[in-house]
Amino acid sequence: MTSEHSLSASFRDPSGQVFRRDGRIFRTITPKGYADYRFWVESGLARELTDSGMIVGFTETEPLDADTVLALEELPFISYPYEWCFSQLRDAALLTLDVNLKLLEKGMILKDASAFNVSWRKGFPVFMDHGSFTIHPEGQPWQAYRQFVMHFLGPLLLMKEKDVRFLSCFRDHLDGIPIDFVSRCLPWTSWLRPSSLVHIHLHSRFQKHYSDSRREKGPAPSMSRKNLIAMIRCLRNDLEGMASPRPKTEWGDYYGDTNYSREAFAFKRETVECFCREIRSSRTIDLGANTGEFSRIASGCSGDVIAADIDPAAVETLYRSVRRTGEPVYPVLQDLSNPSPGLGLFNEERGSFLARIRGDLVLGLALLHHLRIGGNWTFSQIVRLFSETAPRAVVEFVPKEDSQVQRLLRSRPDICSDWTLEETCAAFRHAYERCEVVPIPDSKRTLLLLRRD
C-alpha cells in the first residue's frame, strides 16, 4: 500500500508541493512552474548546482497527473534559522547569494530568498527549494530582495551589533524579522556604515513612505542585470566580511573549566566510544553537546549526530569545527526546557524539535544535574525526554559535591534531596530494562549505559 502525505511547509508555493511517499521525499512541478523548471534544466544550471553541492540532488520520476515529479535527496536533519548560530545564518546567506549569482549568469533569478530554504549537509549549507528559480526579465529588480534582508541581513546585524540571542525573534516572525524593527534596534553607529544605512535604515524609511495606500504609485522600478549582479556581489562582500561575535558565556568553555583529571576524561571518552561502536547507531542525539567533544566521537563510529546545546558560543564553536572537517554532525541551538515548538499554520509548518530528533542512541553527558537541579525537572520528566528520543542512552550522574553542581547551587536553595545515584538509576530503570553503572575512575562521577530491549 502506498502511503503519501504533503509536507505542511510547502503549501505557499503555487509552482509545486513537497510530499512524502513510502519514506521518500518528492516535489511536484506544476504546469505554472514548468517553463522555469525546463529552462533551469536545459541551461545546465541544474547539473552545475547539484554537482557543486549547492542544492539537494534530484531525479525526475513518473509524472503525477499534469505535474512533473522530482525525487529529492533527503537530508539527515532539518533545522530552522532560529536554531542556528551566527556563522550558520551567515553561511546560509552567502549560499543564497551564490545560488542567485549563478542563476543570473544564465538569465534566471531567485524568486524566494527565505532562510527556511536552506539546511545542512555535513557542515555545509545546502539549498532545498527547487521551485525558487524563475526566468529573469532584463531590467526587473530582485523581487526577493526585501525577503533576503528580513531573513538574513537584518538578523545578522542584530546579532553582531546587539546580541546573538536576537535570532530567537525568528520564532515570532517566520516571514522574516521586520526591517523597521531592525532599524530601531540597531545602534546609531550603524547609520555610519553603508551596508546597514542602505539596506536597513533607508530601506525602512522607503518602505514606510510608500506603504501609505493614498500615495500615487509611480512607475515600476527597474535595474539592469549588470547592476543587479554588482549589487548582490557588494552585499555578499559585506556579509563575508562580517565576523561572528564571540560572547563569553557560562558554559561555552565547559571542557576547559571542568575538574576532570586526564585519566578520568580519557576513561569517559573510551567508555562512550566503545558503547557507540557496540550500538552502531545510524542516528545519535547528543543533548547538552557543548562544543561537540562527544558528538564527534559518536560520528566516528556511527552515523549522523544531532548535537544540541543551549549555549550560542558552544554551538558556534562546534559549527566551525564541523565546517572544517565535514563530519556528519548537525549543531542546533536548543533550550531543552523550552524546545522549539511546532510553528506556522496549525503549528505544522515547522516541526517541533522533539518530534525531529528520534534516533537509535541518545547521549546526556554532564546534563542531568542541569535539568534536575538547575531546571527543577522531575526524574520522570528527565526519563521521558531520553526514553522518547532513543531506545539506548548514555547519561552521566554528577553528585552534589562536584564543583559544577556547586556552581548551580550558589544561586538557588538545595531542594533536590533525591539527587543520588541510587534514585537516578531507579528512575531510568522504569524505561530501560538494562542499566549498567560505570564509575569513572579518579572522579566521583558515574556513567549509566542504558538499553531498552
| 430 inside domain | yes
Among residues 364, 291, 276, 282, the alpha carbon closest in space to that of 331 is found at 291
pLDDT at site 254: 56
Among 72, 96, 129, the domain boundary falls at 72
The structural domain count of the chain equals 3
Provide the grid cell at 419.
539527587
Question: Under DSSP, is residue 124 helix (H, G, I), strand (E, B) or coil?
Answer: strand
Cell 547521549 appears where?
363
pLDDT at site 1: 36
- Cα atoms in the Cβ-side hemisphere of radius 13 Å centred on 321: 17
| 246 inside domain | no
pLDDT at site 17: 85
Handedness of CA 193, 194, 199, 203 (dihedral sign): positive
Q: Are residues 25 and 170 in the same domain?
A: no
pLDDT at site 414: 86
Q: Are residues 136 and 52 in the same domain?
A: no
**CA 235/CA 426 separation, integer angstroms:** 57
Handedness of CA 178, 308, 366, 295 (dihedral sign): negative
| 434 inside domain | yes
What stretch of H or E contains 223? none
Handedness of CA 365, 368, 371, 374 (dihedral sign): negative
Query: Helices H, strands E: what count in the chain?
Result: 18, 16
pLDDT at site 275: 96
- CB count, 10 Å around CB of 362? 26
Distances (CA, A) of 172 to 114, 332, 377: 15, 18, 26
Q: Are residues 169 and 260 in the same domain?
A: no
Q: Are residues 60 and 182 in the same domain?
A: no
Q: Are residues 265 and 196 in the same domain?
A: no
Sequence-ordered list of residues with C-beta below 8 angstroms from that of 255, at least 6 positions apart, any chain: 290, 291, 293
Question: Under DSSP, is residue 446 helix (H, G, I), strand (E, B) or coil?
Answer: strand
Provide the grid cell at 217.
504609485
**CA 375/CA 372 separation, integer angstroms:** 6
Distances (CA, A) of 342 to 89, 167, 174: 21, 17, 12
Specify the amino acid at residue 323: R
Among 72, 95, 120, the domain boundary falls at 72
pLDDT tens across 96-155, in order?
Answer: 999 999 999 999 999 999 999 999 999 999 999 999 999 999 999 999 999 999 999 999
Q: Are residues 271 and 131 in the same domain?
A: no
Domain with residue 263: its CATH number is 3.40.50.150
- Cα atoms in the Cβ-side hemisphere of radius 13 Å centred on 224: 3
Q: Are residues 129 and 234 in the same domain?
A: yes
Residue ranges of alpha helices (H) inside 199-340 are 203-210, 225-240, 254-257, 262-279, 293-300, 312-325
Strands (DSSP E) contained in 414-453 are 434-439, 446-451
- Cα atoms in the Cβ-side hemisphere of radius 13 Å centred on 166: 25
Cell 542556528 appears where?
84
pTM: 0.93
pLDDT at site 6: 59
Distances (CA, A) of 238 to 97, 104, 115, 156: 12, 20, 18, 11
Residues in a beta bridge with 25: 20, 72
**Mean pLDDT over all residues of the chain?**
91
* Ranges in the chain, pLDDT < 70: 1-11, 209-220, 247-259
Q: Are residues 293 and 412 in the same domain?
A: yes
**CA 146/CA 179 separation, integer angstroms:** 9
Cell 548582490 appears where?
232
| 436 inside domain | yes
**CA 432/CA 426 separation, integer angstroms:** 10
Specify the amino acid at residue 308: A
Q: Are residues 45 and 178 in the same domain?
A: no
| 247 inside domain | no
Q: Are residues 14 and 93 in the same domain?
A: no
| Residue 362 domain boundaries | 254-451
Does residue 68 contact residue 36 with C-beta atoms inside 8 Å? no
Provide the grid cell at 363.
547521549
Among 46, 72, 98, the domain boundary falls at 72
Distances (CA, A) of 440 to 261, 265, 269, 353: 10, 8, 10, 32
Provide the grid cell at 34.
514548468
Cell 559544577 appears where?
404
| 245 inside domain | no
Does residue 149 contact residue 200 with C-beta atoms inside 8 Å? yes
| 137 inside domain | yes
Does residue 3 contact residue 21 with C-beta atoms inside 8 Å? yes
Q: Are residues 260 and 397 in the same domain?
A: yes
Q: Are residues 57 and 110 in the same domain?
A: no
Q: What is the chain's Cα-based Rg?
A: 24
| 249 inside domain | no
Q: What is the DSSP string of 315-354?
A: HHHHHHHHHHH--SEEEEE--TTS----BSGGG-SB--HH
